[in-house]
């Protein structure tokens, strides 16, 4: 029996979110906005069965992602016999599913930790208050920013989308996105989100304005009831402390039920890893590469 992979459609986000809502462990990779915004970059597709949604990418190579749904209700040996083409390497596998497969299959499965894909999870209150010596440098930068600039925080509304797009274009010109594949790909994903802002469920954002000019913005998504995932964050570095400020100010304007912040992976980038670690993550959502022998 073969799975029928098709392009990821915005019109199916509600149905997908229902599968995601019963998933025992939700990492940033599998948020709808992440999948949809990057689909054109990685040629992402999905295939639906009664119990699961499978993801597959074609660029830069063909590879399966983990399935979304209630993993606990699946008879995995029987399932993989029904869909034998799934017995291959599967990436971005959340820890709970990797452990479940390891338990159900034993030796026929190889589980490999993928540190570059770990999600960084932070306590939201800590990122807002920045109490203690470990946050002293960041809090000092934010205080300097707030003292030097008469800023205004503006929630991301459909009316602000055009300004955000213009700021992103200017940021990309400064960073020469056209000559950097990774930045160009990210720019495409951001453009996708901005173009369908009103149609995307759970999307949130905010910007910092100085003299009526945008100098930073954040785009996130409500991942689960108490967790916000940060997808994109850009700032104009001519304003000292702008990234520390937009991080703190944006979260300070979110509802009180947001207890955790998922700031996604570092992808093995040394500078990004150092930056994410400097914010003192509470924990990681670990992910693995899993090889199922045929």
214-268 pLDDT, tens digit each: 999 999 999 999 999 999 999 999 999 999 999 999 999 999 999 999 999 999 9
pLDDT for 227 equals 98
Query: Which pLDDT band, with edges at 50, 70 and 90, does 1 fall under?
Result: confident
* Cβ-contact 87, 79 below 8 angstroms: no
pLDDT at 2 over 90: no
* Cβ-contact 286, 265 below 8 angstroms: no
23-73 pLDDT, tens digit each: 999 999 999 999 999 999 999 999 999 999 999 999 999 999 999 999 999
Distance CA 266, CA 263 (A): 9
Query: Which pLDDT band, with edges at 50, 70 and 90, does 102 fall under?
Result: very high
* Domains of the chain with bracketed CATH: 6-118+288-292 (3.40.630.30), 119-264 (3.40.630.30)
3-state helix, strand, coil in the chain (%, to 5): 45, 25, 30
pTM value? 0.96
In sequence order, what are the beta bridge partners of 154? 207
For the sheet containing 119-123, what is the strand order?
A: 151-155, 203-210, 213-224, 227-235, 260-262, 119-123, 283-285
pLDDT for 134 equals 96
Phi-psi region of 36 (alpha: psi -120 to 50; beta: other; left: phi over 0): alpha
Q: Which run of H or of E encompasses 162? A: helix 158-175
Return the percentage of the chain with pLDDT > 70, whole number: 100
């Amino acid at each position: 029996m073969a799975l029928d992979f098709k392009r990821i459609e915005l019109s199916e986000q509600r149905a997908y979110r229902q599968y995601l809502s019963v998933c025992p462990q939700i990492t940033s990779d599998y948020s709808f906005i992440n999948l949809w915004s990057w689909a054109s970059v990685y040629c992402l597709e999905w295939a639906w069965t009664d119990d699961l949604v499978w993801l597959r990418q074609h660029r830069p190579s063909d590879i399966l992602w983990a399935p979304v749904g209630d993993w606990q209700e699946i008879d995995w040996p029987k399932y993989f016999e029904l869909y034998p083409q799934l017995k291959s390497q599967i990436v971005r596998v959340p820890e709970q599913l990797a452990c479940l497969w390891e338990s159900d299959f034993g030796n026929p499965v190889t589980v490999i930790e993928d540190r570059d894909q770990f999600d960084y999870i932070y306590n939201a209150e800590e990122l807002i208050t920045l109490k203690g010596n470990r946050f002293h440098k960041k809090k000092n930068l934010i205080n300097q920013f707030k003292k030097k600039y008469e800023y205004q925080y503006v929630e991301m509304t459909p009316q602000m989308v055009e300004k955000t797009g213009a700021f992103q274009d200017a940021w990309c010109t400064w960073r020469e996105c056209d000559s950097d594949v990774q930045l160009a790909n990210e720019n495409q994903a951001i453009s996708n989100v901005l173009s369908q802002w009103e149609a995307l469920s759970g999307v949130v954002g905010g910007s910092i304005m100085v003299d009526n000019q945008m100098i930073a913005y954040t785009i996130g998504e409500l991942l689960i009831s108490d967790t916000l995932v940060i997808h994109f964050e850009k700032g104009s570095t001519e304003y000292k402390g702008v990234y520390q400020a937009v991080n703190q100010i944006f979260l300070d304007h979110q509802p009180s039920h947001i207890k955790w912040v998922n700031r996604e992976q570092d992808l093995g980038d040394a500078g990004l890893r150092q930056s994410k670690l400097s914010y003192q993550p509470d924990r990681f959502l670990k992910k693995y590469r899993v090889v199922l022998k045929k």
